[in-house]
Structure 1
Amino acid sequence: MTVRVSRLAGFCSLLAVLCLLPPAAGAQAPSTFPLDDQLANQPAPWTVKGQWGARGNWGRWGEQDRRGMANFLTPDLVMKAAGLVTKGKVYALGEEVHNDVPRAITPSRFGPQIVLENDGYDRVTQPGQFDPKRNQGAASYTIMHNHVGTHLDTFAHIYRENALFNNMPPPKPVGTVHGDAASVKFIVGRGVLLDVARYKGQDPLPGNYWITLDDLKNTAKAQNVEIRKGDVLLIRTGWRTMWDKPGPDGRADIAHRQYLQPQPGVGPDCLPFLNDMEIVAIGADTAAVEWNFPFDPNYTRKAFNGFQGLPLHVDFIWNRGAYIIEILNLDELAKDGAYEFLFVVAPLLLRGGVGVPVNPIAIR
């Protein structure tokens, strides 16, 4: 018996070692992301000449246009979207803005700091006393990065070849006026929620999950909702809950490591469909909306001849003049099964803002 156990233990040890060895020379390791391989030799959408100009939607609404796909939302489409309001229920889709708001944590992207200019004691006769003939008051300063919490990426955020969408000049350190937040004005149209986490039965979706075009179409089918031209698509991954998830010791994780690991996102295989459907804006409950950085630091992305940037960002913002909204809170919408609605967002008219905090509204 001792000999048999020893032999079995030795065999298991050998098997474990063999499993850890790298593949033999010439061996083909299975791809973690097969769609990435399939897209390797496909031309990127932004490399194809546009119908109206050098790129996708460049020139479509004139050489001076600064609103891009927001122009697609005609009065007729707005009226049809307004017809979806039958209950009068309103949903706020933005995160509350505070020092620990969800964000991609970098040294520059700190949480908003709100400091009082005065605190109510400027209008009293003596410290701690209230003059009944006067009022108390307060005012505050806000110091924040424009890409923290729920925010909209403007055309000045992503560009190539030293030009923004529609060949607008690139942003400047001070005084950017092309493709800024003030140019957006508003986006009003039909909104569609695709609760991919619910459809896949994984809430949240696994980290680094590539949301495929089939996932989007099958989720829409399961929800009995149609994706139509000119929609605003909102993708729920369930990832919002990861921000508040405690660390391994059960205590609050102030570094939010689990939230900041590679997140699930929309894969680049979805781009042709999203382009054909004239999607005006896409948003999600994640920090980037799209699939981007794999867990394996040695993995080299292959889609579009190995493009290493953010393909959805480049295609939407630079090529098509469409919008991206990040770090949405979609849980209440999902809980109510509110899959189509009137979508409204009116960003702060922040002149020179490359990004802008928003609180989109869904009404049904």
Structure 2
Amino acid sequence: MTNVPFVGDLLANSPTNWGKWGDDDEVGSLNYLGPEQVLRGVSQIKTGSVFTLQRLIGDPKGDPVWPGRSPAVRSQLLDESSWDNDDAPQFPGGLHYADDTINAFLQGSTQYDALGHVWYDGLLWNGYDARGTVGGLSKASVEPIAARGVAGRGILLDLARFRGKDHLDKGETFTHEDLVACAESQGTPIEPRDVLIIRTNFLQLFFEQGDAFYEGFVEPGLVYSPELVEWFQQMEIPNLVTDTIANEVTSDPASGVALVLHNALMRNLGVVFTEICDLEELAESCARDGQYTFLYTAAPLKIAKASGSPVNPLVIK
């Protein structure tokens, strides 16, 4: 699209939560999830059913990643064949063992974004200088999120099922009003400080199409509007979780700006993003028993100065 506006101009009047939790805050809207919210999440547990939301790393069918990133590579260093050679390590008693490594983008699997992951105008979340990202994030890295952890009431918003589809289509958009309508159709309205978990099942196309999935790459997702941003702020949403790679429609259909909500919600409001989740087993369970709320918990890896981290979110119903 020609004449794409600068994101700073598009968001010139967008609200921020900078300074709301002090000048040194690095976890943003996760501050909404205090002990009361944790207990509110615990109160949703009815059966003790547990669901993990991480997609398999090293899936034989492929690992979906953002274009330009490559999937993780696991390498075997030691296995039983290592002891076919005379130079294998020797231990008293004859112990043998397996050992391996992984080479991966920290945001190349189910993952949490650090609040300093994106920015414009040279400023990160809470007004931190973007020069502080040089060589690693000195502020608003994923480490404070990992150290804190995430726990609260989660709500699944099954947009695909709500729209009567197996999966949403490329570039298909939805708004906060659609989220509200979806929740009401499921019989459980969205409440303030809920962790929003949005199912599109879009990544089914990755497994069906292979490399063709990335041709004309544009994901479905939330679409920017001032009203949507204001709704997120008023509802005090702490964490946005999706099964897509980037949590929002890739390019704004009106302005052409890429990933507007990464800046409007993450940079400006401190909403934490979680991406590439596998929501299929959870969605099937919710559709069966009609329970769409639960305890949502997550703890990304503690990695110093990192802009993101792999995670295996845990849901208990």
Q: Aligning the two structures, in what range does the TM-score lie when normalised by the shorter sequence?
A: 0.7 to 0.9
**Partner of residue 116 from structure 1, selected from 76, 84, 97:** 76
Q: Give how far 1:148 is off.
A: 1.2
Shift in CA distance, 206/124, structure 1 to aligned 2, threshold 3 Å: closer
Shift in CA distance, 96/256, structure 1 to aligned 2, threshold 3 Å: farther
**1:195-221 Cα deviation digits (max 9, x unpaired):** 011111122112211112332111111
AA partner of residue 178 (structure 1)? K
1:286 and 2:244 matched = yes
Which residue number corresponds to residue 314 of structure 1?
Answer: 263
SS in 2 for 1:152: strand
Q: TM-score, normalised by structure 2?
A: 0.86
Aligned partners of 2:215 and 2:296: how far apart in 1? 27
Aligned partners of 1:241 and 1:259: how far apart in 2? 15
Q: Give how far 1:175 is off.
A: 3.8
Aligned partners of 2:154 and 2:312: how far apart in 1? 14
Q: Give how far 1:127 is off.
A: 8.2
1:344 and 2:297 matched = yes
SS in 2 for 1:104: coil
Q: What's the Cα RMSD here?
A: 2.6
**Partner of residue 102 from structure 1, selected from 59, 64, 88:** 64
* Pairing of 1:30-49 with structure 2 (within 5 A): 47-48=13-14
Aligned partners of 1:122 and 1:258: how far apart in 2? 39
AA partner of residue 237 (structure 1)? T
**Partner of residue 169 from structure 2, selected from 184, 206, 229:** 206
Aligned partners of 1:154 and 1:125: how far apart in 2? 45
Shift in CA distance, 307/289, structure 1 to aligned 2, threshold 3 Å: same
Gaps of 5+ in 1: 1-42, 51-55, 247-252, 295-300
Q: Is the 8 A contact 2:25 2:126 kept in 1?
A: yes
**Partner of residue 98 from structure 2, selected from 124, 127, 138:** 138
Gaps of 5+ in 2: 1-8
SS in 2 for 1:362: strand
**1:326-357 Cα deviation digits (max 9, x unpaired):** 11111111101141110001010011110111
1:157 and 2:127 matched = no
Aligned partners of 1:120 and 1:47: how far apart in 2? 62
Which residue number corresponds to residue 224 of structure 2?
Answer: 268
AA partner of residue 274 (structure 2)? I
**1:245-270 Cα deviation digits (max 9, x unpaired):** 14xxxxxx3x1426873221111133
SS in 2 for 1:239: coil
Shift in CA distance, 125/159, structure 1 to aligned 2, threshold 3 Å: closer
Q: Is the 8 A contact 1:210 1:264 kept in 2?
A: yes
Q: Is the 8 A contact 2:113 2:309 kept in 1?
A: yes
Relative CO higher for 1 or 2, CA cutoff 8 Å, sep ≥ 6?
A: 2
Q: Is the 8 A contact 1:194 1:235 kept in 2?
A: yes
Q: Is the 8 A contact 1:147 1:355 kept in 2?
A: yes
Shift in CA distance, 224/103, structure 1 to aligned 2, threshold 3 Å: same
Aligned partners of 2:104 and 2:118: how far apart in 1? 20
Which residue number corresponds to residue 5 of structure 2?
Answer: none
Identical-residue share of aligned pairs (%): 27
Aligned partners of 2:26 and 2:91: how far apart in 1? 52
Q: Give how far 1:234 is off.
A: 0.8
* Pairing of 1:22-101 with structure 2 (within 5 A): 47-48=13-14, 56-98=16-58, 100-101=62-63
Q: TM-score, normalised by structure 1?
A: 0.75
SS in 2 for 1:343: strand
SS in 2 for 1:283: strand
**1:299-324 Cα deviation digits (max 9, x unpaired):** xx43xxx4723221102211011111
Shift in CA distance, 160/353, structure 1 to aligned 2, threshold 3 Å: same
Shift in CA distance, 169/340, structure 1 to aligned 2, threshold 3 Å: same
Which residue number corresponds to residue 272 of structure 2?
Answer: 323
Which residue number corresponds to residue 191 of structure 1?
Answer: 154
Say which is worse superposed, 223-232 or 134-143, in terms of deviation. Answer: 134-143
AA partner of residue 183 (structure 1)? P
Which residue number corresponds to residue 128 of structure 2?
Answer: 168
Q: Is the 8 A contact 2:29 2:238 kept in 1?
A: yes
Aligned partners of 2:221 and 2:174: how far apart in 1? 6
Q: Is the 8 A contact 1:286 1:328 kept in 2?
A: yes
**1:44-71 Cα deviation digits (max 9, x unpaired):** 56634x6xxxxx1111111111111111
**Partner of residue 238 from structure 1, selected from 168, 178, 201:** 201
Which residue number corresponds to residue 184 of structure 2?
Answer: 221
**1:8-63 Cα deviation digits (max 9, x unpaired):** xxxxxxxxxxxxxxxxxxxxxxxxxxxxxxxxxxx856634x6xxxxx11111111
Aligned partners of 1:257 and 1:71: how far apart in 2? 37
SS in 2 for 1:76: helix
Aligned partners of 1:177 and 1:127: how far apart in 2? 43
